[in-house]
Structure formats: C-alpha cells, structure tokens
C-alpha cells in the first residue's frame, strides 16, 4: 500500500465512524438507509485498498455498536541501568515494549502492570504517565482502527523475566542495539522518546 492509499484508509475509517454514530442516534428510516450506504461505501474503499475480504471487514471494521471511539493500547516502560525491557511477539516475530489493549474495568496503570507480568513475567509498580500518542501521527503501518497509545513508566519490584502466551523472548536493550521491531506496536522514535524520559526525569508527559 502506498502513501496515497493511507489517506483513503483514514477517510474510510472516518466515514465508518460517522455512519456508526448515525445508525446509533437516528430515528428517521431514510437517514438510517443513508448511513447504511455510507458504511457499505467505507467497507468497499477499505476492501479496494487492502484486499481484505468483505466478511472479515464486516467482522473487524463495521460490527461495533454505539458511538465509535478510538481503541486504547497501553505499554509498560521498564529500565535496567541504560537498557529498556522489550518482548518478542509470537504473532510477527518482532520486538516491542510490553503491553496490549486496555481491559474494561481496569485503569491504565492496572493494565500496564498486568501486561508486563503476562508478557515478561515481571512484577512492577506503575510510577507515572509518559505519553499519550495517536498511532496515525507516527511511523506505524496503517491500521483499520484509530488507536491511542499510552506509555506508563514502571518500576521493577519482583518476578522472573520470561516470555508469556503471546511472547517468545524477553530482554533489555540499549537504544543503539535495538532488535527488529514489531512496527504495528512500536517505532524506534517512540523507544528513543522513552529514553529521553529516563535521561530527563523532569520531562513533562506528552500528548499528540
């Protein structure tokens, strides 16, 4: 997919969100029909530019109800000396900072603690929020979802460093010796931003 197609994918996601809101709040049968057509058009655009089959798109892109909001990805940032904790994803073999989708009923700090333990085997205490980043503003591959990424600094308090159900390896890496990254989950620029917080603890949290 080239860069021009990224813009079409973003517009299709916005069309889908507008259609979903319209279907949620409209009582007029004519408006409902128009919003259903808008949703179908958004699916056809994504299908043309991604090659995904229509049923898959319906399942992951147009099946939600209610007002559509961004999905939330929470990452736990842990340092040992001058290295950062990373885990290797089984799904693509790339490395990332441990984390995943936010769980309903848990706070962002609770999610960070849970994800680090499940993916790296460490018990941590969340310390402070470092960043809230909009995935579309960074050098990630395109995604069907609009995603906010939350980075939480954590302190290691126990546990045993090991992989989990979704991770095959764990390790600590310096910024000049990073492993191959899982680009849908992390970028080199984001990792370097995390090291800025290690080197400058007074640096304020950032938000796109």
Q: How far, in Å, are 51, 123, 157 from residue 175 at the CA level?
A: 36, 23, 23
Q: What is d(CA 11, CA 5) in angstroms, rounded to the nearest whole number? A: 10
pLDDT tens-digit profile of 105-118? 999 999 999 999 99
Q: What is the pLDDT of residue 152?
A: 98
Contact 173, 84 (CB under 8 A): yes
- E strand segments, 33-136: 71-77, 79-80, 83-89, 95-96, 99-101, 122-134
**Confidence category of residue 26, pLDDT binned at 50, 70, 90:** confident
Between 18 and 187, residue with greater pLDDT:
187
Q: Which of 75, 87, 88, 91 is nearest to 193 (CA)?
A: 75
Q: What is the pLDDT of residue 3?
A: 41
Q: Tell me, what DSSP letter sits at residue 90?
A: T
For the chain, domains (ranges, CATH) are 3-61 (no CATH), 71-207 (3.90.79.10)
DSSP letter string, 54-71: HHHHHHHHS---SS---E
Provide the pairing of β-strand 83-89 with 147-159. unpaired
pLDDT tens-digit profile of 116-145? 999 999 999 999 999 999 998 999 987 778
Three-class DSSP category at 30: helix
């Amino acid at each position: 997919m080239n860069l021009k197609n990224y813009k079409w994918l973003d517009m299709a996601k916005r069309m889908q969100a507008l259609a979903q809101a319209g279907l949620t709040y409209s009582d007029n049968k004519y408006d409902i029909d128009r919003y259903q057509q808008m949703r179908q058009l958004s699916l056809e655009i994504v299908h043309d530019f991604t090659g995904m089959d229509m049923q898959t798109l319906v399942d992951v892109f147009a099946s939600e109800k209610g007002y559509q909001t961004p999905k939330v990805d929470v990452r736990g940032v842990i340092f040992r000396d001058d290295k950062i904790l990373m885990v290797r994803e089984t799904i693509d073999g790339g490395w990332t900072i441990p984390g995943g989708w936010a769980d309903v009923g848990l706070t962002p700090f609770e999610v960070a603690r849970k994800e680090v333990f499940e993916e790296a085997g460490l018990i941590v205490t969340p310390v402070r929020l470092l960043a809230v980043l909009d995935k579309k503003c960074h050098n990630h591959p395109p995604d069907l979802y609009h995603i906010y990424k939350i980075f939480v600094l954590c302190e290691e308090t126990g546990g045993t460093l090991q992989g989990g159900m979704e991770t095959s390896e764990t390790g600590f890496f310096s910024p000049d010796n990073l492993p191959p990254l899982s680009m849908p989950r992390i970028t080199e620029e984001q990792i370097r931003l995390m090291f800025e917080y290690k080197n400058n603890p007074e640096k304020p949290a950032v938000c796109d």
